[in-house]
DNA sequence: CCTAACCTTTACGTCAACGGAAAGGTTCTG
DNA sequence: CAGAACCTTTCCGTTGACGTAAAGGTTAGG
């Protein structure tokens, strides 16, 4: 129970950081973070007395997630907005959940939450699948090329070797 | 040798299509295709007498590849340009290969081709890996949520249930 | 209390990736 | 050979995702 030790009052204090520190850690600019806020992608956990934005660990995680969706998955910020809307809706649902005792409503909120998360995962899986297909195709061509190289290294003569699918002799180009 | 049969002169005629037909098949606009050409991402196989762009099957494949890299993999057109530059360089190499008999140069060209393809695949794999990591994280949160839902459905009371990591009480929010 | 280093909002600038219209030429079909 | 439906190049407009000042207020250290 060291973190409840009265001699260590800062133990569970939720470490709030200012925008530049967060930006540096994530490798983005402060402008980018403010822009995301402008688009409604996140809200800082709090503000200082002088209105400085203050971010907690969850905010940083959320930002990291956004960055991943943008850089790694290649989603637009609008699409990310959709995915995150589901996430923030879940948070709202959680709050609502705790304030109601209506069994039916609670079940509805649960179902809603599950549906949202399912959509989020499905969206990612979909992207993943398409990327996977792309890589397979690229690897096919890779193997195809290696076979070709193998033939050539085996000492095949530089015969014109007209590839049936690659004839492009429709109209002789005059320009360029 | 049926494709040399004089009774079937259209057998290996390389079906050339105009820009709109290609665009429709790929689900892009003609403007997009022309823009890609402007950036040097592709050249039509030929032109008609009246300077209409004419595309063959290889061109369409290349365009499909570009679209995949853009939509599925989320590459910028500049990055795609790099990836394709490798590909067109390979084509140049093939032509060069057939015009030389110098064993050393031929081997150099082969190694170059292999290196280019390797880079291309590696680039895709890298992206794939990062996307995979993202999905795993999302699935983690998915499972986490399902556990949470399970607890709730099991009839846990709507106790405030202060999550240790989620305390955001630094500054009482006044706005929103 | 002063100053450097940070922060705020507001607003205009920029670059990629096209959209869309103008002014004219081409192809196909009847 | 006329007309509709294509196509050409050229050029300006737009949208997303920020960059970059400007004009000020805030915070931490000395």
Secondary structure of chain A in HEC code, one letter for each residue: CHHHCCCCCCCCCCCCEEHHHHHHHHCCCHHHHHHHHHCCCCCCCEECCCCCEEECHHHHHHHHHHHHHHHCCCCCHHHHHHHHHHHHHHHHHHHHHHHCCCHHHHHHHHHHHHHHHHHHHHHHHHHHHHHHHHHHHHHHHHHHHHHHHHHHHCCCCCCCCCCHHHCCCCCCCCCC
pLDDT value at B97 more than 50: yes
Strand-pair partners of A55: A17
Mean pLDDT of B51-61: 97
- Cα dist. B75→B82, B90, B129 in Å? 10, 21, 15
Closest by CA position to A12, among listed B33, B167, B80: B167
* A121 within 8 A of B139, measured Cβ to Cβ: yes
Q: Do B158 and A74 touch (CB under 8 A)?
A: no
- d(CA B17, CA B170) in angstroms, rounded, equals 65
Task: Write the CB contacts of A171 (distance below 8 Å, at least 6 apart in sequence).
Answer: B46, B47, B48, B49, B54
Instruction: Report whether pLDDT(A54) > 90.
Output: yes
B76 alpha carbon, distance to own chain's centre: 10
Using pLDDT thresholds of 50, 70 and 90, give the confidence band for residue B132: confident
Share of chain B above pLDDT 90, in %: 36
Q: Which nucleotide has the shortest C1'-to-CA distance from B21? A: D6
Helix (H, G, I), strand (E, B) or coil at B46: strand
- What is the Cα–Cα distance from A85 to A79, expressed in whole angstroms? 10
Mean pLDDT of chain B: 79
Percent of chain B with pLDDT over 70: 78
Closest by CA position to A33, among listed A7, A71, A63: A63
Per-residue confidence (pLDDT) for residue A100, from 0 to 100: 82
**Could you identify the residue written with the tokens 């133990």?**
A11
Distance CA A91, CA A89 (A): 5
Q: Is B156 left (phi over 0), alpha (psi -120 to 50) or beta?
A: beta
Considering only residues B173 and B153, tell me which one the structure prediction assigns the higher pLDDT.
Answer: B153
| Disruptive mutation site among B135, B140, B157, B169 for chain A (greatest number of A CBs within 10 Å) | B135
The 8-class DSSP code of residue B45 comes to S
pLDDT at B37: 98
Cβ atoms of B14 and B56 within 8 Å: the answer is yes
How many Å apart are CA B28 and CA B39, to the nearest integer? 16
Give the Cα separation of A83 and A122 in Å (integer). 11
Cβ-defined contact of A97 to B152 (cutoff 8 Å): yes
Q: What is the CA radius of gyration of chain B?
A: 27
Q: Which residues of chain B neighbour A16 with C-beta distances below 8 Å? A: 170
Cα distances (Å, whole numbers) of residue B132 to A68, A156, B138: 11, 42, 10
Contact B48 A114 (CB under 8 A): no
Residue B52 CB in 7 A reach of strand D: yes
pLDDT-derived band at B163, boundaries 50, 70, 90: very low
| Secondary-structure breakdown of chain B: helix, strand, coil percentages, each rounded to the nearest 5 | 65, 5, 30
Partner residue opposite A164 with nearest CB, options B12, B49, B134:
B12
* Mean pLDDT along residues A25-44: 97
Say whether B121 and A138 touch across the interface (CB within 8 A): yes
Cα(B97)–Cα(A152) distance, integer angstroms: 10
Cβ(B125)–Cβ(A67) below 8 Å: no
pLDDT the model gives residue B80: 94
């Amino acid at each position: 129970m060291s973190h409840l030790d009265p001699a260590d009052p800062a133990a569970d204090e939720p470490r709030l950081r200012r925008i530049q520190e967060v930006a540096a850690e994530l490798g983005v600019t402060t402008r980018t973070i403010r822009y995301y806020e402008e688009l409604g992608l996140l809200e800082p956990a709090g503000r200082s007395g002088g209105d400085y934005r203050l971010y907690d660990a969850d905010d940083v995680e959320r930002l990291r997630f956004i960055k991943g969706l943008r850089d790694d998955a290649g989603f637009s910020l609008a699409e990310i907005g959709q995915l995150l809307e589901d996430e923030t809706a879940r948070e709202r649902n959680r709050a609502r959940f705790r304030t109601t005792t209506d069994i039916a409503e609670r079940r509805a909120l649960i179902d809603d939450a599950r549906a949202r998360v399912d959509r989020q995962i499905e969206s990612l899986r979909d992207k993943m699948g398409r990327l996977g297909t792309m890589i397979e195709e690229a690897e096919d061509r890779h193997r195809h090329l290696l076979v070709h190289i193998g033939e050539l290294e085996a000492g095949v003569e530089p015969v014109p070797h007209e590839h049936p699918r690659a004839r492009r002799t429709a109209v002789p180009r005059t320009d360029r």
